[in-house]
Structure 1
Amino acid sequence: MNALRTLSTSTLLAASLLLGGCASNRVNLEEVREFADASARLGGYAELSARYRDTYLREQPYLPAAADKAAKENDARRHAAYNDFVTIQKAVVAYMQTLSALAGEARYDFTPQIDTLGVGLSGLSETTLGQKQVSAYTGLARLLTRALTSRYQKDSVETMVRDGDADLRVLLDAMLSLTDIYAAAHENEKKTVLGFFEVALPLAERPQDRLLYTLARAHVQAKTSEYRLVDRRIDLARQGLAKVALGHQKLRENLATMSSSEMRRMLSDLVRDLRLIRAGLATD
């Protein structure tokens, strides 16, 4: 990571000017740019990560006293792991933003991507992840640094895809695995909260408890709708991550023909799907 932190402003500027001035060597990479841009903008994972982190705040009022101690311990572990979980996503986004810039026609500045990766991972050894993910993160950081020195746009894109594929795949797999963890925590929360009302509501059906019963029923309906929406977002997040992984895999397998008609159609289809998924994730 030290190499990232020591890049000078003049180096970044020179690289931007050099890569931005290679129009005569450019090939048609519009669909590559659009795919990378749609991948970077997908969304969903960060929101699910934050929801996972805050599980205890939502479920605590419905927990029996005997379960509260274990729930607090889980809460501490979630908060300790949260920054690392989100940092993995930021690395994937930074990579895709850089790939989009390399495949575009305008001059660009890598400073935001470099700054993002320079933050690093804080305590991955204490999470469900491990050294494999740390190595993949470090590999992507180094790759972004090398991208600054590539002379031609086409070569830069091919280098990014070829050299970044293995590390990107590790981080995308980690994000998919974490999404499964988020889903399991969500299911447990749903059982806890709705199970509480399954037991409590029949006890509040007396005429004198009518107001309490009505308010509780309305709360159950609201929570049921909330959980149904989260179920959908988890499913969409999985679909989106799978499509990002598929698109990059196809780019890696077809480096020499990434601007061919067949590849451009395939990438266009993936871009359409990613945009639809993003729109679905934004639906309240």
Structure 2
Amino acid sequence: MDLRRCFTLIVLAATLVLGGCASTGPVSLAEVRQFADASAKLGGYGELSRRYRDTYEREQPYLSPAADRIAKENDARRRAVYDDFVSIQKTVVLYMQTLSVLAGDARYDLSDRIDDLGNGLKANAESGLQQRQIAAYTGLTRLLTRVIASGYQNRSVETMVRDGDADVQVLLEAMIELTRLYAKTNDNEKKTVLGIFDVEIPFSTKTSDRMLVTLAKVHYLNKSTEYKLVDKRYDLALQGLTKVALGHQKLRENLNNLHGDEVRKLLAVYARDLTKLRDALSD
């Protein structure tokens, strides 16, 4: 074999080897990146947190003086814990964004997002947050600060998931519990608002009240429709958070096989389902 032919074969072999490595690198973690991106962009929780915070503004016109005093106290409690509830979401979103960066072939600077996490949960007694949830928040923020500040050096998807899964699961559990609290609060608000019409309209039988009754019925129908739509959003948000938790659990269970076809297909399904839920929440 002459030197020219030998050199050609060597170059061809190197090209095949390098080409194979390139096609099985970032591409093989595309589904991890898709799942992380879909999880970070799910939405719903932040909007419902704000709705929970602003409950009093909506129900106040329908309250009696006695009920109004109690409602004001509840309003103060909700506003006191709102920042903590939102901080949990911000931490989980930043974790998913970081996981997406690690699963891709580009490095984006997320250091400015660290400032959004604040100085930790206030552990307000009214929040109902458990100590393990506060500890999980602290643990995950420390992990994110360490990873992002280091420029993702010596960090892989596998080590990120291994180090973060326990805290992520606890915080997602907290978000699910809080979303159920939001739904329960909304249900109480619905009973307060619609209940007035249910009681008053049947007794408004005077001819002079006809226009007022008609306007009241229209308002009742509008509020009833609003609450039905919001109820659907709580359900969609709970479905999404549950899928994020299950998807991350599958990541943790398959850390040594993230390149496997079965795992990749499963993550792709979770990413697709989360995207559909996000679209539904955006309607």
Task: Calculate the TM-score normalised by the size of structure 2.
Answer: 0.87
Corresponding residue of 1:129 = 129
Q: Which residue of 1 aligns with 2:102?
A: 102
Cα shift at 1:228: 0.2
Residue 167 of structure 1 aligns with an amino acid whose one-letter code is D
Name the residue aligned to 1:247: 247
Provide Cα deviations, 1:141-200, integer angstroms capped at 9, x if missing partner. 121133244545xx5211110110000011000001101111110110111111100111
Q: Does 1:175 align with 2:175?
A: yes
- Work out the CA distance in 1 between the residues paired with 2:52 and 2:31: 34
Q: Partners in 2 of 1:105 and 1:115 — Cα distance?
A: 25
Matches of 1:252 and 1:270, distance apart in 2: 15
1:191 aligned partner: 191
Paired with 2:123 and 2:236, the residues of 1 have a C-alpha distance of 29
Q: What are the ranges of 5 or more consecutive residues in structure 2 without an aligned counterpart? A: 1-21
Residues 233-242 or 62-71, more deviating: 62-71
| C-alpha separation in 2, matches of 1:104 and 1:29 | 7
CA distance in 2, matches of 1:202, 1:276: 43
Q: Determine the C-alpha separation between the residues in 1 that align with 2:84 and 2:261.
A: 39
Q: Is the 8 A contact 1:124 1:130 kept in 2?
A: no
1:1-31, CA deviations, whole angstroms, 9 ceiling, x for partnerless residues? xxxxxxxxxxxxxxxxxxxxxx899452111
Q: Which residue of 2 aligns with 1:42?
A: 42
Aligned sequence identity (%): 61
Match of 1:4 in 2: none
1:123 to partner: Cα distance: 4.2
Contact kept in structure 1, 2:133 and 2:174, CA below 8 Å? yes
Residue type at the aligned position of 2:83: N
Instruction: Give the Cα–Cα distance (whole angstroms) in 1 for the partners of residues 121 and 178 of structure 2.
Output: 16
Alpha-carbon contact 2:169-2:245 (below 8 Å) kept:
yes
**Superposition pairs of residues 1-284 of structure 1, within 5 angstroms:** 26-27=25-26, 28-148=28-148, 149=150, 150-151=152-153, 155-283=155-283
Cα distance in 1 for partners of 2:248, 2:158 equals: 11
CA distance in 1 between partners of 2:58 and 2:36 (Å): 35
Deviation at 1:92, TM superposition (A): 0.5
For 1:82 and 1:191, the matched residues in 2 are separated by: 23
In 2, Cα distance between equivalents of 1:243 and 1:262: 17
Count the aligned residue pairs.
Answer: 260
CA distance in 1, matches of 2:84, 2:118: 13
Contact 2:91–2:140 (CA under 8 A) maintained in structure 1 = yes
Aligned-residue offset at 1:119: 4.1
Gapped regions of structure 1 (runs ≥ 5) = 1-22
| CA RMSD after TM alignment | 1.9
* Pair 1:108–1:24, CA change in 2 (3 A): farther
2:75 maps to amino acid: D
Larger radius of gyration: 2
Q: What do the CA deviations read for 1:249-271 (whole angstroms, capped 9, x no partner)?
A: 00000001112111111111111
For the Cα contact (< 8 Å) 1:81–1:124, is it kept in 2?
A: yes
Which 4+ stretches in 1 moved above 4 angstroms? Answer: none
Q: Residue 161 of structure 1 contacts residue 251 of structure 1 at CA under 8 Å; is this kept in 2?
A: yes
Counterpart code for 1:230: V
